[in-house]
Amino acid sequence: MKKPPFSPDRQRVEAVVLGASAGGIDALSVLLDGLPANWRIPMTAVLHLPEAHESRLAEIFAQRLPIPVHEAADKMPLAAGSLYFAPPGYHLSIERERCFSLSCEPPVRFSRPSIDVLMASAADTYGSAVAGFLLTGANDDGAEGLHRIHLAGGLTAVQDPKEALISIMPSAAIARHAPDHVLPLRELRALLLQLESAHAH
Amino acid sequence: MNAEYTPPLQPLSDTEIELRLLMEAIYLKYSYDFRNYTLASQKRRVLHALDQLGLPSISALQEKVLRDTALFGRLLQFLTIPVSEMFRDPAYFLALRRHVVPILHTYPSVKVWVAGCSTGEEVFSLAILLREEGLLERTQIYATDINPASLEKARLGIFPLEALRGYTANYQRAGGLNAFSDYYTAAYDAARFDPSLCADAIFADHSLATDSVFAETQLVSCRNVLIYFNRQLQDRALGLFHESLSHRCFLGLGSKESIDFSSYADRFAPHARAERIYRKGP
């Protein structure tokens, strides 16, 4: 049975989840460039980085964006308008109570944090009211998680593999299911802004 | 009307309903209380267990586990997370050495509680640190966990040799004073740690979900355990630690854990904030 395409006019998006690995910092910068200061939808990102290093992702993006940016902490509630990054060395999930939980379970697809873990938990928690974005990357983490969002009725969007620095991650997602959108970053950004205007209604 | 829109919670999925019923059944039958663990990771672990045990559904697992004690013992290994390493987050151990040990030295005797000790890597790490700081002789270590198989491993102090390279680097970054190899004997593919380190330690079955405080302590180290608990159960565990600790004594958590989102936020004060070491009392 084919799921009806996600319609931003009729469906409200309560959360956005994002995943990327190789080339992800630059891709995410382009995607989120020019985000308005009155942004409302909470966004959570998993970027693969070497485990041993303290992550400076929140710091880097806090300087670039006009919205609050945090490293997600255990049981921290998701706040409107904020961007969160998974800490290195832990899986990150979104619980039903709309707060984060961390876990030291073994890596999934060689990754901890794993994009699949974050996206599957978001699908369970938000059902159709979540949008998943998967960008450039050098492995297939995220393909399963994005499919879970699709099955829950949420919106799935993938960076055009032709544009991605490394196409393995977006291509794996496209092989797993037909995403609602396969677009270059600038058009993904327009989509994101469209979700926000629907959210504000 | 309240201006803030509160989105409705998703209805429980069939899987989540099965999961809750399974945890209720385990509690009623075996008195192990997993009912207030965080749902997302518990669900992953149970689905992984189904896969490994070759069972078609959580309901099928529940039916079997009620009647088969041995199967429960196997399931327990999936429900707990025996992931640990020696001197994990070296900065934590360095902060203990610099900022906690000097204060512990003012006590005639010291009690340390490693809560959720899993397979013992952290217990042996603390014992090494305390010996190097001249405190082990007058310290009583309590190492507790709910998983009997993990406790059995912890008592032995035998860890895979392949992990030792990483542990050695951690030990050095944690301010270790000796050669790490002084503390173990390597044989085949395992390293056996000096049994005298934990000869006086008490390894015991204890549940943060159902048991109560058993001793007055000066340091509680409970790292990467509370992340698997929901806020209600976190509060229970933090309540036990608060009750157990002497006035102005120390609680150490995992490097990404925090008491900020618990009801105990104002009953502990940060002592080494970045390393997640707290001190009882405002």
- Residue-level pLDDT, tens digit, chain A, 201 residues: 445 556 655 678 999 999 999 889 999 999 999 899 999 999 999 999 766 566 789 999 999 999 999 999 999 999 999 999 999 989 999 999 999 999 998 888 888 999 999 999 999 999 999 999 999 999 999 999 999 999 999 999 999 999 999 999 999 999 999 999 999 999 999 999 999 887 665
For residue B203, the Cα-to-chain-centroid distance in whole angstroms is: 13
Helix (H, G, I), strand (E, B) or coil at A201: coil
Report pLDDT digits (tens) over B45-104.
999 999 999 999 999 999 999 999 999 999 999 999 867 899 999 999 999 999 999 999
Q: Examine the pLDDT at B21 and tell me if it is beyond 50.
A: yes
A179 or B2, which is more confident?
A179
Residue in chain B lying closest to A199 (CA): B5
Q: Which of A104, A114, A117, A119 to mutate to test the interface with B (most CBs of B within 10 A)?
A: A104
Could you tell me the domains of chain B? 14-79 (no CATH), 90-280 (3.40.50.150)
How far, in Å, are A8, A31, A159, B258 from residue B32 at the CA level? 45, 47, 46, 25
A53 is catalytic: no
Q: Given pLDDT bands bounded at 50, 70 and 90, which one contains residue B1?
A: very low
Residues of B in contact with A71 (CB under 8 A): 256
Q: At what angle do helices B39-53 and B14-30 cross, to 10 degrees?
A: 80
Report pLDDT digits (tens) over B180-232.
999 999 988 999 999 999 999 999 999 999 999 999 999 999 999 999 999 99
Question: Exposure pattern of A142-152 as b/e (b: 16+ CB <10 Å)?
Answer: bbbbbbbbbeb
Smallest CA-to-CA distance from B68 within B83, B53, B56 is with B53
- What is the number of other CB atoms lying within 10 angstroms of the CB of residue A107? 14
Classify burial at B144, counting beta carbons within 10 Å of its beta carbon; exposed 0-12, middle 13-18, buried 19 or more: buried
Q: What is the pLDDT of residue A196?
A: 86
Q: Examine the pLDDT at B144 and tell me if it is beyond 70.
A: yes
Smallest CA-to-CA distance from A126 within A103, A84, A93, A163 is with A93
- What is the number of other CB atoms lying within 10 angstroms of the CB of residue A59? 12
Question: What's chain B's average pLDDT?
Answer: 94
Helix (H, G, I), strand (E, B) or coil at A170: helix
CA angle B237, B240, B245 (to 5 degrees): 125
Q: What is the pLDDT of residue B84?
A: 81
Beta pairing partners, B229: B37
CB contact under 8 A, B227 and A102: yes
Residues of B in contact with A91 (CB under 8 A): 41
Report pLDDT digits (tens) over B32-46.
999 999 999 999 999
Q: Examine the pLDDT at B8 and tell me if it is beyond 80.
A: no
Q: What is the pLDDT of residue A9?
A: 58
Rounded-to-integer distance, Cα B156 and Cα B46, Å: 28
CB contact under 8 A, A94 and B41: no
Amino acid occupying residue A51 = E
Q: Which of A14, A87, A94 sits opposite B256 (nearest CB)?
A: A87
Structure tokens at B198: 């934990």
Alpha-carbon distance B174 to nearest alpha carbon in chain A (angstroms): 14
Q: What is the pLDDT of residue A3?
A: 55
Q: What is the pLDDT of residue A129?
A: 94
Residue in chain A lying closest to B6 (CA): A14
Alpha-carbon distance B137 to nearest alpha carbon in chain A (angstroms): 33
How would you classify the pairing of strands B202-205 and B139-145?
Answer: parallel
Q: Which of A121, A124, A129 sits opposite B13 (nearest CB)?
A: A124
Q: Examine the pLDDT at B4 and tell me if it is beyond 60.
A: no
Contacts of B179 (CB under 8 A, 6+ apart): none
Q: Which of A12, A77, A101 sits opposite B38 (nearest CB)?
A: A101
Enclosing H/E stretch for B129: helix B121-132
CB contact under 8 A, A93 and B41: yes
For residue B168, the Cα-to-chain-centroid distance in whole angstroms is: 22
Residue in chain A lying closest to B45 (CA): A105
Which DSSP symbol is given to A121? H
What are φ and ψ of residue B238, in 5° steps?
-65, -35
Smallest CA-to-CA distance from A153 within A117, A122, A187 is with A122
Set A141, A150, A177, A180: catalytic member: A141
Q: What is the pLDDT of residue B12?
A: 85
Set A21, A55, A82, A93: catalytic member: A21
CB pairs under 8 A between A and B: 81
A116 is catalytic: no
Could you tell me the domains of chain A? 15-200 (3.40.50.180)
CB contact under 8 A, B227 and A90: yes
Q: At what angle do helices A185-200 and A24-32 cross, to 10 degrees?
A: 50
Rounded-to-integer distance, Cα B178 and Cα B87, Å: 14
Q: Given pLDDT bands bounded at 50, 70 and 90, which one contains residue B2?
A: very low
What are φ and ψ of residue A141, in 5° steps?
-60, 140
Rounded-to-integer distance, Cα B92 and Cα B254, Å: 9
Residues of chain B whose beta carbon is less than 8 angstroms from a beta carbon of chain A are 7, 9-10, 13, 16, 38-41, 43-45, 81, 83, 224, 226-228, 230-231, 234, 256-258, 260-262
Q: What is the pLDDT of residue A200?
A: 61
CB contact under 8 A, B261 and A74: yes
Please count the helices (runs of H) and the strands (runs of E) in chain B. Answer: 10, 10
A180 is catalytic: no
Q: Which of A73, A93, A127 sits opposite B258 (nearest CB)?
A: A73
Q: Which of A14, A51, A94, A103 to mutate to test the interface with B (most CBs of B within 10 A)?
A: A103
Q: What is the pLDDT of residue A22?
A: 86
* B158 close to B193: Cβ distance less than 8 angstroms: yes
